């Protein structure tokens, strides 16, 4: 067998093995990593506490002082 054919075959097998490992690792990571949290972020206007609550809640009671607060928008 010619050395150039042998080397090309070896490189092809190694490259294919790396691609298979990369795809398997990507699939495993996607399966175990969770997506972004769906909770809404609230900031108390009275005591300054930052907390989260369910995404369907418009007003939430502060766990520190009990004041009702609207959700905090980071884009504003």
The segments of the chain whose pLDDT lies below 70 read: 34, 76
Flag whether the pTM goes above 0.75. Answer: no
Q: Convert the pLDDT of each residue in 17-33 to its tens digit.
A: 999 999 999 998 887 77
Cα–Cα distance measured from residue 59 to residue 69, given in angstroms and rounded to the nearest whole number: 5
């Amino acid at each position: 067998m010619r050395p150039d054919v042998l080397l090309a075959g070896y490189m092809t097998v190694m490259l294919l093995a790396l691609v298979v490992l990369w795809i398997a690792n990507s699939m495993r990571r996607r399966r175990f990593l969770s997506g972004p949290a769906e909770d809404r972020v609230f900031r108390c206007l009275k005591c300054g506490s930052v907390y989260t609550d369910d995404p369907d809640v418009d007003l939430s009671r502060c766990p520190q002082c009990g004041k009702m607060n609207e959700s905090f928008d980071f884009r504003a």
